Chains A and B, each alone.
Chain A
Amino acid sequence: MSWLAKIKSRSISVLPIQAGGCRGCLLQFFLSLSLYSEIKGITVTGNPGQADLLLITGCINEQSKKAILEIYEKIPEPKAVISIGACSCSGSLFKKEGKGIYAAEDILPVDAWVRGCTPNPEEIPGTIVRAVECAYEKVK
Chain B
Amino acid sequence: MGRRWTGKQSYNFVCKILGMKHTGFELFLIAAEQSEKTLKIEYKFKKGDQLDSIEINVPENSVIPSVKDIFPGGLWMQQEIARRFPVSFGAGESEDQLKPGYSPIEWGPFHPLLSEPALFKIQSKDEVVDSISISTGYNYRGIEELCEGEKPAVVLEMLERTSLISGISTGIAFAFAVEKINNIEIPEKAKWIRLILNEMSCFKANLYCLNQIAQCLGLLSDGSEVFRLIDLFNESAEQICDHPQLLGITKIEGVSTDISRGNIYAANAVLQDMKKELESLKSKWTNTHSIYKRLETTGFIDSNTAKQMSGRAARGAGVYEDPRKYSCLPYQLLTYTVPTSRGSNCLSRTMLLIDDLLLSLLLIDQGVENLPDGNATINFNIAGSGKVIVREQDAYGEIVVLVSQENGNIKFIKTRNSTTLNFPFLPDVLKGCELTDLPLVLTSLNMDLSGMEK
Contacts and interface: CB of A to CB of B under 8 A. Distances in A.
Interface stretch (B77-85, B153-161, B298-306): B153-161
Nearest to B247: A117
Given A35-B227, A61-B138, A22 B450 contact: yes
B227 A34 contact: yes
A contact face: mostly helix, strand, loop, or mixed: mixed
Contact of B140 (A31, A45, A63, A93): A63
B401 to A, nearest CB: 16
Interface stretch (A2-10, A11-19, A132-140): A11-19
A71 B158 CA distance: 29
A67 to B, nearest CB: 6
A99 interface: yes
B151 to A, nearest CB: 12
B409 interface: no
Contacts of B158: 93-94
B223 A21 contact: no
B397 interface: no
Contacts of A117: 161, 247
Contacts of B157: 93
Interface residues of B, number: 35
A31 B116 contact: no
Contacts of A118: 164, 244-245
Interface stretch (B104-112, B184-192, B334-342, B348-356): B104-112
Interface string B146-170: 1000000010011001111001000
A93 B157 CA distance: 8
Interface string B222-238: 01100110110000000
Interface of B: 109-113, 115-117, 137-143, 146, 154, 157-158, 161-164, 167, 208, 223-224, 227-228, 230-231, 244-245, 247, 450
16 contacts: A16-B112, A21-B161, A21-B450, A22-B164, A23-B450, A24-B164, A34-B224, A34-B227, A44-B112, A45-B112, A67-B138, A94-B143, A94-B146, A99-B142, A117-B247, A118-B164
- Which 6 residue pairs of A and B lie closest in terms of their CB atoms, listed nearest first? A63-B138, A24-B164, A34-B227, A64-B138, A20-B139, A16-B112
